[in-house]
Amino acid sequence: MSTSPRTARRPVAITAANLRVLLAAGLIAVGVIFLLAVSGASERADAATRTVKVGNDFFSPTSKSIARERSVTWVWVGGVPHDVVAKNRTGKIIFRSKITKQRGYTYSHKFRRSGTYKVICSLHPVSMRMTVKVS
């Protein structure tokens, strides 16, 4: 009885049909990569518009409008100690960063509820005030 197992695989012949399948797969891969790149770029652009500078002694800009479930990122640029604090009407702290003078330090807060948030620096509460409007 001849039961020689076929261990060697036959090489796949390069036919026109196989080339079409390869070409289609390649095009799909290129398309997916392109879409990922585009969505990544728009995410970054969107994030850039939600950045606030923490300077001496100012926030810039002093007003920000965003959608719910979005974050605002404060970036320290001044080199003098500041913080970022938001309180509600009753004075309860909603969020607060640490006090730091470190340039390049960032603090982000994700806004889950719509409303108008008053943000201050607790060290310079008169000159450093801003508003985040969440819709």
Residue 126 CB, shortest distance to Cu ion, in Å, is 10
User: What values do phi and psi take at 96, rounded to 5?
Assistant: -155, 140
Residue 50 CB, shortest distance to Cu ion, in Å, is 20
Binding site for Cu ion (CB under 5 A): 82, 121, 123-124, 128
User: What values do phi and psi take at 106, rounded to 5?
Assistant: -125, 145
Q: 85 vs 134, which CB is nearer to Cu ion?
A: 85
Q: Which long-range contacts (CB under 8 A, 24 or more apart) does 123-128 make?
A: 123/81, 123/82, 123/83, 123/99, 124/57, 124/82, 127/57, 127/58, 128/54, 128/57, 128/58, 128/59, 128/82
Q: 66 vs 128, which CB is nearer to Cu ion?
A: 128
The Cα–Cα gap between 62 and 58 comes to: 8
Q: 70 vs 84, which CB is nearer to Cu ion?
A: 84
Residue 123 CB, shortest distance to Cu ion, in Å, is 4
Residue 135 CB, shortest distance to Cu ion, in Å, is 27
Per DSSP, the three-state class of 28 is helix
Q: 19 vs 99, which CB is nearer to Cu ion?
A: 99
